[in-house]
Amino acid sequence: MRIAVGSDHAGFALKEALVAHLVGSGHEVVDLGTTGSAPVDYPHYGAVVGRAVVGGEAELGVCCCGTGIGISIAANKVAGVRAAVVHDVTSAHLARAHNDANVVCFGARVIGEAVATDALEAFLGAAFAGGRHQRRIDQIAALECAGAEPEEVRA
C-alpha cells in the first residue's frame, strides 16, 4: 500500500518510527516532511498529506504532531479527507470501520511509539463497514460540497 506521511517538529520522531515500521512491513511511503526537529507549522503538513490522499498519490495518510489534534484539523480542511485522531487500537480500527477515515493522526506527546505502531496496524488492517455508516459519510461529503445541513436520520 502507498501511504503518505507528514509531521511537524513535535511529531517528527514518531513519524520516523512509523515510517520505519511501514517500510519494514512492505508499504511504499511518500514522506512529505518535516525532515527534522526544527520548529515548523503543522497546518502545512496536514494539508500536504490530505492533498496526497485525495489526489491519488497515496491510498492513506499518516500525520503526527504534538497532540494529533492540530494536524488533523488542518488535514480535514482538504475536501475528501476524513482524518481521525486516534489513541489506541480500538479508536484506530473504528476510525476506518465506521468513519471511513483515510488519514490517521497521532499525538507524539500523548501516546508512545508502541501504542502508535499497534494503532497504525489496526487502522491499516480495518475495512470500511459500509451499511448505515455510508449514509453518514455521504452526509459529511454533502457538508464539504455545498455546506448543506445533513438531515437527521435516526437509526
98 classed as catalytic? yes
The DSSP result for 34-97, as a single string, is --SSS---HHHHHHHHHHHHHTTS-SEEEEEESSSHHHHHHHHTSTT--EEE--SHHHHHHHHH
What residues form DSSP beta bridges with 62? 5, 104
Q: What are phi and psi of 79, to 5 degrees?
A: -55, 130
Is the link from the previous residue into 34 a cis peptide, with omega within 30 of 0?
yes
Cell numbers found for residue 44? 502545512
Q: Which among 64, 65, 93, 105 is annotated as catalytic? A: 65
Q: Is 133 a catalytic residue?
A: no
Question: Count of residues for the chain?
Answer: 155
Q: Which of 98, 105, 133, 145 is catalytic?
A: 98
Catalytic residue numbers? 65, 98
